[in-house]
Structure 1
Amino acid sequence: MRRALHKWGAAVVVAAGLASGGLVPNAIARTPENPSRVPPVALVTLPPEAQATHKLILAGGPFPYSKDGTVFGNRERLLPLNPRGYYREYTVKTPGLRHRGARRIVCGGTPPTKPDTCYYTSDHYASFQRIAP
């Protein structure tokens, strides 16, 4: 696998080389000029734990983990660029795990109970899906 990094640190392309030495077709470049092409996902299709976390976010809690509601820095730059403090992260419980696991919901906007948009990740910020109500 070959990884190219943009000078701002954002992953530009992650693609496997083909036998011809070319890149995988449809690789999406992510840069500050093109921050993301985040696919939508219907809330009702997410795991029940994600739906419950989303409901808690809109209600303002109470949240099961002390890190819930803390600022998400978007260091991966996979979400649209916004000022620091715009995004907040929340844990989505994973059945059978005794720790926080990899699943999160990240919401942007203020107040936190009325976010502009929310995103779901099942792989600890490696990829996101925009939650469509």
Structure 2
Amino acid sequence: MTSKNRLFTLVAVLLCALAALAGCQLSNDGADSPKATAAASTGASATGPKPSAPKSSPPAGTTPPPAGGWVPTDAALADVCRTKLPAQAVDTLGLIAKGGPYPYRSDGIVFENRENRLPRKASGYYHEYTVVTPGSGDRGARRVVTGGTGEQYWTADHYGSFLEIDARC
């Protein structure tokens, strides 16, 4: 390979890297930073504390669901009736609605959605809560994850799969 060809290859690789970087920046939906996006979606400042409980109503400017209707946040996710959840999950949902107290100190922490099994949102949008597993010596694998606009998800397999919780049934 001649030095001219090597130079051409190097320039092509650098241009591809720049194009990929630009694509990542554009996919940020115009937000200045992930922290700013998270702060905007939660109503908190980028440096202030994050709430541990979901908001009880959608933020201003969003369209509310039809009267008496439940609208899933992602049609690709299966849903589960709240009445079909284990009693411990219903207990956890009650604690979330009251804002605690929670049985584990890590309840209410930010859920990062690293597995990308929930709809993609800004960092800080999701929070996770432990669902007590009878007979388990630790937190177990069951969780409820809440979204910033009040949506709720159930996982019985430690984030391996999620079902969106339908409170209508």
Structure (1/2) with the larger helix percentage? 2
Query: How does the TM-score come out when normalised to structure 2?
Result: 0.54
Unaligned residue ranges in structure 2 (runs of 5+): 1-73
CA distance in 1, matches of 2:132, 2:112: 21
- Give identity over the alignment, percent: 50
Whether 1:123 aligns to 2:157 is yes
Stretch moving more, 35-44 or 100-109: 35-44
Deviation at 1:36, TM superposition (A): 7.5
Whether 1:41 aligns to 2:80 is yes
Partner of 1:86: 125
RMSD: 1.3
Map residues 1-133 of structure 1 onto 2, 5 A cutoff. 37-109=76-148, 115-133=149-167
Structure number with bigger Rg: 2
Unaligned residue ranges in structure 1 (runs of 5+): 1-34, 110-114
Q: Could you tell me whether the CA contact under 8 Å between 1:106 and 1:119 is conserved in 2?
A: yes
Distance 1:61 1:48, change over 3 A: same
CA distance in 2, matches of 1:36, 1:46: 20
CA distance in 2, matches of 1:36, 1:77: 15
CA distance in 2, matches of 1:64, 1:70: 13
CA distance in 2, matches of 1:85, 1:48: 28
Amino acid aligned to 1:104? R
Distance 1:42 1:126, change over 3 A: same
Aligned residues: 94
Amino acid aligned to 2:104? Y
Q: Which contiguous aligned blocks of 4+ residues in structure 1 show a shift greater than 6 angstroms?
A: none
Q: Which has the higher contact order (CA 8 A, sep 6+)?
A: 2
Q: Give a deviation string over 1:69-128, Cα, whole Å, max 9, x none.
A: 00000000000011000000000000011210000000011xxxxx52000000000000
Partner of 2:40: none
Partner of 2:49: none
Structure (1/2) with the larger strand percentage? 1
Query: How does the TM-score come out when normalised to structure 1?
Result: 0.68
CA distance in 2, matches of 1:132, 1:72: 20
